[in-house]
Amino acid sequence: MSIQMKNRRQFVRGAAAAVGAMAVAPQLIAQAAPVRVGYAIARTGPWTGGAQVSQEPNFLLWADQQNAAGGLDVKGAKRRIELISSDDRSDVETCVRTYEKLMGSDKVDLVLPPWGSNANFAVAPLANRFGYPFLAPTALSRRLAEMKLPYFFLLLQQPKPMCDALVDMLKANGVKTAAVVYVDDLFGLENYAALKVAMAGSGISLVQETSYPGGVKDLSPVLRSIKDKNPDAFIGFTYPPDTILASKQAKEVGFNPKFFYASVGTAFQLYRNVMTAPGAEGVLGMGSWNAKSSPGAKAYFDAHTRKLNGKEPDRWASGHCWAGLEIMTDAVKRVGLDRKAMRDYIANTTHKTIIGDVKFTGSENTATPGTVGQWQNGEFEVVWPAKVATAKLNPNKPAWK
């Protein structure tokens, strides 16, 4: 063989190898590239209390855990998570613009949801428009479920099952009269409407029904009016600052019904700390799990508390947030980052999570029952229904302390 021909063959083999390398390189680069995960969340403004308890700490913990294990498993290939986030300032318009940018021009790989019913209601149509699965752990809205957006999934128990569980518990414990206050927005209005339906034929009458504006600073006149009517139960569809306000002012005016139920924030460590543990005793609220609910729930609770220097997850939406992250992680592992395939997997699978089975009928999680929680000896226990209870209901709230 001539030297010239040998050199020519070596050149051809080298060129072929180079072409092969060029063909493989983009795939290797794609595998090595981080998974870009975008979200907007309240770090300032009135939504901050809920967002910085129930959602963002869980997003950060999830990313840290995945990255510590080598990255998110994308169909067998480990890729690090890169979080791309910003403060939505508790403003719906800012929230919408941010998600439009994340999905439209930034084209992130995955998105995580904002906090609260109002923000999720505003961004839900964008999920469908851009084709990004949204697993929302803090959206409580029948209207969202009725919109039938195939990429939007509601993890929380919705107003009907939650109010059905509450009324069932009150009826079973002899309650005849109740008073309700509710924030004048989507969350409050939908829960109030569901409560009215649940109470029809229950034998429980509402002696007072009062709405209040968001950001309220004084509920004492309303509470004094309710106290004068002496109801068996107080029901508040309230946000975290209002939940604490209503509880403190009920104590101040001497209003202590047998059943005192408030909503968002009651299941927070902050509520127990602000009221002091004895002061929270017997207070009821929306909640669905705690560290005793399952081995997975305990592992999550311990990891959250350890990672965040003693900051505990709340016993309601934090669990749903983590369940949503579990579902997303599993979907990416099984089908990769093809968002349509992810949506189909999420929609058509019964998911095993720390809050139990999650199964979606349309947009709604219909596998998780409506629940009621209660502070008992420093822990927010699930007390209704019995099949998911972690403790028995105390049917007679002790005096405020």
Question: 229-261: per-residue pLDDT in tens?
Answer: 999 999 999 999 999 999 999 999 999 999 999
Strand-pair partners of 233: 178, 259
Read off the amino acid at residue 203. G
Query: Which residue, among 284, 301, 314, has the nearest Cα to 162 in the 3D structure?
Result: 284
Query: Which residue, among 29, 55, 25, has the nearest Cα to 40 in the 3D structure?
Result: 55
- pTM here is 0.87
Domains of the chain: 32-158+293-307+318-365 (3.40.50.2300), 159-292+371-388 (3.40.50.2300)
Strand-pair partners of 39: 85
> What are the tokens at 400?
């405020």
Query: Which residue, among 169, 219, 162, 217, has the nearest Cα to 190 in the 3D structure?
Result: 162
Question: 126-146: per-residue pLDDT in tens?
Answer: 999 999 999 999 998 888 889
Question: 313-357: per-residue pLDDT in tens?
Answer: 999 999 999 999 999 999 999 999 999 999 999 999 999 999 999
Residue 65 DSSP symbol: H
Read off the amino acid at residue 89. R
Cβ partners under 8 Å of residue 228, min gap 6: none
Question: 284-314: per-residue pLDDT in tens?
Answer: 999 999 999 999 999 999 999 999 999 999 9
Question: Of all residues in the chain, what percent carry a pLDDT higher than 70?
Answer: 92
> What are the tokens at 263?
């909503």
Q: Taking 60 as the threshold, does the pLDDT of residue 65 lie above it?
A: yes
> Which pLDDT band holds residue 31 (cuts at 50, 70, 90)?
low
DSSP three-state, residue 137: coil
d(CA 161, CA 175): 19
Query: What is the overall mean pLDDT for the chain?
Result: 92
Question: 163-185: per-residue pLDDT in tens?
Answer: 999 999 999 999 999 999 999 99
Strand-pair partners of 273: none
> What are the tokens at 126?
């964008």
Whether the upstream peptide bond of residue 395 has omega within 30° of 0, thus cis, is: no
DSSP three-state, residue 194: helix
